[in-house]
């Protein structure tokens, strides 16, 4: 049972364009939503994260938008660059402070290719 659904599975964007990845979740107890970036042959690394008390968080060219009522969140990559070509995973968990370990539930991943 996939509790976090991610789309699209892959996308191709031109350099300078906007990449948009969407995720939807079912568990209303989730209250921590990170995005991880993974380059080929490497482990994922935290890119940006949001908690549901805010609707948007921006770090450089990366923005998370969060819609609590719709149980959806998305990653926008502005001015996409070839170096952004990677696989992106959304994830969700209950508050790690309360939970027994930070058990993240991951989406299926989106492979992003930015063409020069």
Partner 1 sequence: DGGITQSPKYLFRKEGQNVTLSCEQNLNHDAMYWYRQDPGQGLRLIYYSQIVNDFQKGDIAEGYSVSREKKESFPLTVTSAQKNPTAFYLCASTPRRLADLSSTGELFFGEGSRLTVL
Residues that bind partner 1 (CB under 8 A): 2, 4, 6, 9, 32, 34, 36, 41-46, 49, 89, 93, 96-97, 100-104, 106-109
Cα angle 105, 111, 112; round to 5: 125
Q: Which is nearer to partner 1, 17 or 108 (CB)?
A: 108
Task: Give DSSP secondary structure letters for 3-52.
Answer: SEEEE-SEEEEETT--EEEEEEE--TT--BEEEEEE-TTS--EEEEEE-T
Q: Which is nearer to partner 1, 43 or 83 (CB)?
A: 43
Nearest distance, CB of residue 2 and partner 1, angstroms: 8
Nearest distance, CB of residue 31 and partner 1, angstroms: 11
């Amino acid at each position: 049972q996939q509790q976090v659904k991610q789309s699209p599975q892959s996308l191709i964007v031109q350099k300078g364009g906007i990449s948009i990845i969407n995720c939807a979740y079912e568990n209303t107890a989730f209250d921590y939503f990170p995005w991880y970036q993974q380059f080929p042959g490497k482990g994922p690394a935290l890119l940006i994260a949001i908690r549901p008390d805010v609707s948007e968080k921006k770090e450089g060219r990366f923005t998370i938008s969060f819609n609590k009522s719709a149980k959806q969140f998305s990653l926008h990559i502005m001015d996409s660059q070839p170096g952004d070509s990677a696989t992106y995973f959304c994830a969700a968990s209950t508050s790690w402070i309360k939970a027994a370990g930070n058990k993240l539930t991951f989406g299926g991943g989106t492979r992003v290719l930015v063409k020069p």
